[in-house]
A = this chain, B = another copy of it.
Amino acid sequence: METFHAEIITIGNEILSGRTVNTNASHIARRLTSLGFKVRRITVVMDEINDIAEAFTEAISREPAIIVSTGGLGPTYDDKTSEGLAKALGVPLTLNENALNQVKTKYLQKGIEITQERMKMAMLPLGAEPVENYVGIAPGIYMERGMIEILSTPGVPKEMEAVLEVFISKFLKKKPSVKYIEANFEVKGIMESALAPFITQLVKKYDLYIKTHPKGYELSNPMLEIQIAGSDKDEINLDKRISYCKEEIKEKVKELGGLIVE
């Protein structure tokens, strides 16, 4: 089964200083995972043209199916994603007529004039298409580079979400034809290290992703959240594998003296 890899790039000093938690990357990751993509890397870089260009260049070199970035598309001096992306692709930044119309329309409806800062949001890499932003003003940027589809979204969460949905419904060409299923449950009174050798066997047996997330204290009050996940073209088969695997873990937990919380 072909795996469709994805990469996410977050642009923003506020993430790197720890001021803002990168919930945008989590949202994009969840949404892409739900479509069957496997997100292989998330990169956060500063609002600097060279850093942004480097992040895109590196991501492109790993040849994922898609790259989604967030941040750096606004009207201010430190919004440099469009320029960084153009640099990575080796194309000039040009005033995109469609983007300009989208931006202009929004300001003119409110009787607000177009300034140079506002025009900046319509400067896209040559060959890019604007992705309509129904919540804010700065449009997203869609580009193709060989087999890779690239989307840049604004950093304001509600705008990022809106642009991502427009991209998925109107632009995205590659959609994995797989089903993704996830099961989660909690167990008490069993140490992660006691369950570890058994989990290793099950991962191989069922070809699933199994992760034990420790929530309590390993020695005094062990509590584990167990996550089983997988993707498959055959939904029935996938569902069965996850159920069987879950049952085996529950049996083992009881055998080792633990409790299923669920």
Contact = CB atoms under 8 A, between A and B. Distances in A.
B217 A136 contact: yes
Nearest to A12: B211
A40 interface: yes
Q: For chain A, what secondary structure do more than half of its interface residues adopt (helix, strand, loop), or is it mixed?
A: mixed
A15 B23 CA distance: 10
- Identical chains in the assembly: 2
Contact of A192 (B74, B110, B135, B211): B74
Q: Which of A14, A15, A29, A213 has the most CB of B within 10 A?
A: A29
A42 B22 CA distance: 10
Interface residues of A, number: 71
Interface of A: 10, 13-23, 25-33, 38-46, 51, 58, 74-78, 106-107, 109-110, 112, 115-118, 135-137, 156, 182, 191-194, 196-197, 199-200, 203, 209, 211-214, 217-220, 227, 229
Contact of A30 (B18, B76, B197): B18
Contact of A76 (B10, B32, B199, B217): B199
A43 B42 contact: yes
A43 B46 contact: no
